[in-house]
């Protein structure tokens, strides 16, 4: 019996030994690292990415920190990462993406990159604003950029931060112009278009204000409807609002509510009216999506990386991306849209780019 007891004891010992082995794997290499240099963790994270400096400027290291939306949000985290990928490909930059899973990740993610001497650190989305501001103050030598938040709106106005803003109203104006012409063509007496917003926050507001102004410019008789879902995720909410608008006569639905807005486009599909996508080109959803209002976060990231590389990056101010710079614009236009409408919209796009249309409003009035 005591033999059995010993057997079981040795089994337990073996188990503990296995555990110790697991821990030991960690300890061995750590000791090696620690004896070498304290910067070892930084070195390990970048091994194997030292290739592809085929372009003109010096190879730079770019860190991208997403907000809690994650990389597959099909919106600006996704687009920002695309921009970084392009910079890696075309500019030979080294890139590292850190996904934030909770808001407690923002500051450690940003400061980890800063500590590892990255040349540019991009924070994606206005949720990161406070974290970017705090970390930028602690690392005044590092370049930071933040998407959708103005450097001028930061309390301490750090000189090493650049805000990357978009003139969403110009993209909104273009899709609004297209919708205005579209209803003039088809809807007869009832000429109504509508928009579904997530929340009345500045970027959403700019899109919708531009949309309404564009539609009115194209077709003074047009009636506009607008509603907010107070949500950016739940598709059912946006669908309900869109269905309501369609019941009230809307024949074009513009979604400005991220994932929630896909429900609005779905409603347009069901009711056989036209839909307009937002941020990314959402034409892949089907023929009912006549076009999309694009906000090219990827372009913004790419151009910022380029600026850091050729030394023209300057903190302490904002970059504004508009139609002229190609930062916002139109997605692919569906084949069902008549050619003369497409031509007219393209003309308006050129006018905006040339600075001939400047009085596009940024906020939606009442009604």
Partner 1 sequence: MTETPPEGGGKVENPRQGGDYAPSVAARVAVWHKAGGIAVPLLTTILAFFIGGLVVLATTGKNPLTTYKAIFEGSGLNWFLEVGSYEIGIPWTESRVWFPWDTSFNSFAALNLQQTLIVYVSLVLTGLAVAFAFRCGMFNIGGQGQYLAGAIMAVWIGSELPGLPGFLHILVAIVAGALSGAIFAGIAGFLKATVGAHEVISTIMLNYVALWVGVFLFGLGGPLQNDNEGGESVPVSNDVLEESKLNVFWGDPLLQGLHVGFFVALAALVVYWITLNRTTLGYEVRAVGFNPEAARYGGISVARNYVLAMAISGTFAGLAGTLDILGWQFRLNTNDIFINSIGFVGIAVALLGRNTAIGVALSALLFAALLVGTSTRNLDPEIFRPELASNLTTLIQGLVVLFVGADVLILYLFGIRRRARQRQARTQA
> Which residues form the interface with partner 1 (CB under 8 A)?
1-2, 4-5, 8-9, 12, 15, 19, 22-23, 25-27, 29-31, 34, 38, 41-42, 44-45, 47-48, 68, 70-72, 96-99, 101-105, 107-109, 111-113, 115, 126-127, 130, 134-135, 137-138, 153, 199-202, 205, 230
How near is the Cβ of 98 to partner 1 at its closest, in Å? Answer: 5
Contact by Cβ (8 Å): 292, 282: yes
Taking the C-alpha atoms of residue 259 and residue 198, their distance in angstroms, rounded to an integer, is: 9
Cβ proximity to partner 1: between 17 and 314 the closer is 17
Taking the C-alpha atoms of residue 83 and residue 78, their distance in angstroms, rounded to an integer, is: 9
Report angle CA 43, 123, 358 to the nearest 5 degrees. Answer: 145
How near is the Cβ of 264 to partner 1 at its closest, in Å? Answer: 20
How near is the Cβ of 99 to partner 1 at its closest, in Å? Answer: 5
How near is the Cβ of 69 to partner 1 at its closest, in Å? Answer: 9
Q: How many CA atoms lie within 13 A of 283 on its CB side?
A: 14
Structure tokens given for 49: 């990415």
Cβ proximity to partner 1: between 203 and 275 the closer is 203
Cβ proximity to partner 1: between 40 and 187 the closer is 40
Cβ proximity to partner 1: between 41 and 326 the closer is 41
How near is the Cβ of 48 to partner 1 at its closest, in Å? Answer: 6
Cβ proximity to partner 1: between 148 and 170 the closer is 148
Cβ proximity to partner 1: between 123 and 180 the closer is 123
Taking the C-alpha atoms of residue 193 and residue 264, their distance in angstroms, rounded to an integer, is: 13
Cβ proximity to partner 1: between 26 and 367 the closer is 26
Cβ proximity to partner 1: between 29 and 350 the closer is 29
Residue 302 phi/psi, 5-degree rounding, is -60, -45
How near is the Cβ of 23 to partner 1 at its closest, in Å? Answer: 8
Taking the C-alpha atoms of residue 209 and residue 211, their distance in angstroms, rounded to an integer, is: 5
Taking the C-alpha atoms of residue 125 and residue 258, their distance in angstroms, rounded to an integer, is: 13
How near is the Cβ of 220 to partner 1 at its closest, in Å? Answer: 30
| Bridge partners, residue 162, by sequence | 145, 317
Which one, of 79, 126, 87, lies nearest residue 106 by Cα?
Answer: 126
Residues whose CB falls within 8 Å of the CB of residue 181, separated by 6 or more in sequence, listed in order: 218, 219, 341, 344, 345
Cβ proximity to partner 1: between 230 and 347 the closer is 230
Taking the C-alpha atoms of residue 207 and residue 100, their distance in angstroms, rounded to an integer, is: 27
Residue 119 is classified by DSSP as S
How near is the Cβ of 92 to partner 1 at its closest, in Å? Answer: 17
Which one, of 86, 84, 87, 88, lies nearest residue 99 by Cα?
Answer: 84
Q: What is the DSSP string of 123-171?
A: E-SGGGHHHHHHHHHH-TTSEEEEETS-GGGSSS--TTEEEEEE-HHHH
How near is the Cβ of 103 to partner 1 at its closest, in Å? Answer: 5
């Amino acid at each position: 019996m005591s033999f059995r007891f010993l057997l079981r004891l040795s089994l337990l010992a073996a188990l503990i030994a296995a555990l110790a082995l697991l821990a030991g794997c960690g300890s061995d290499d750590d000791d090696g690292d620690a004896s070498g240099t304290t910067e070892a963790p930084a070195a390990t994270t970048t091994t194997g990415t030292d290739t592809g400096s085929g372009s003109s400027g010096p190879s730079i290291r770019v860190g991208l920190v997403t907000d809690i939306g994650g990389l597959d949000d099909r919106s600006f985290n996704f687009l920002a990462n695309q921009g970084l990928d392009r910079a890696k490909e075309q500019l030979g930059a080294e890139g590292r993406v850190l996904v934030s899973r909770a808001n407690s990740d923002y500051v450690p993610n940003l400061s980890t990159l800063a500590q590892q001497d990255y040349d540019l650190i991009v924070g994606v989305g206005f949720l990161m604003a406070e974290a970017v501001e705090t970390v930028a103050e602690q690392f005044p030598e590092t370049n930071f950029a933040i998407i959708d938040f103005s450097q001028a709106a930061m309390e301490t106005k750090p000189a090493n931060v650049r805000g990357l803003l978009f003139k969403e109203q110009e993209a909104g104006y273009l899709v609004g112009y297209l919708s205005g012409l579209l209803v003039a063509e088809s809807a007869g007496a009832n000429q109504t278009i509508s928009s579904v917003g997530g929340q009345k926050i500045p970027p959403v507001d700019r899109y919708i204000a531009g949309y309404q102004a564009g539609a009115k410019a194209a077709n003074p008789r047009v009636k506009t409807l607008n509603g907010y879902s107070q949500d950016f995720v739940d598709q059912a909410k946006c669908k309900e609002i869109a269905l309501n608008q369609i019941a009230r006569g809307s024949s074009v639905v513009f979604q400005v509510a991220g994932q929630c807005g896909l429900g609005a486009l779905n409603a347009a599909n069901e009711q056989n009216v036209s839909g307009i996508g937002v941020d990314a080109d959402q034409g892949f959803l089907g023929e009912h999506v006549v076009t999309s209002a694009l906000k090219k976060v990827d372009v913004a990231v790419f151009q910022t990386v380029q600026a850091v590389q050729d030394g023209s990056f300057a903190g302490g101010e904002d970059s504004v991306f508009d139609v002229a710079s190609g930062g916002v614009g139109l997605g692919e236009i569906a084949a069902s849209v008549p050619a003369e409408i497409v031509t007219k919209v393209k003309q308006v796009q050129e006018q905006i780019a040339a600075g001939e249309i400047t009085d596009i409003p940024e906020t939606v009035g009442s009604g």
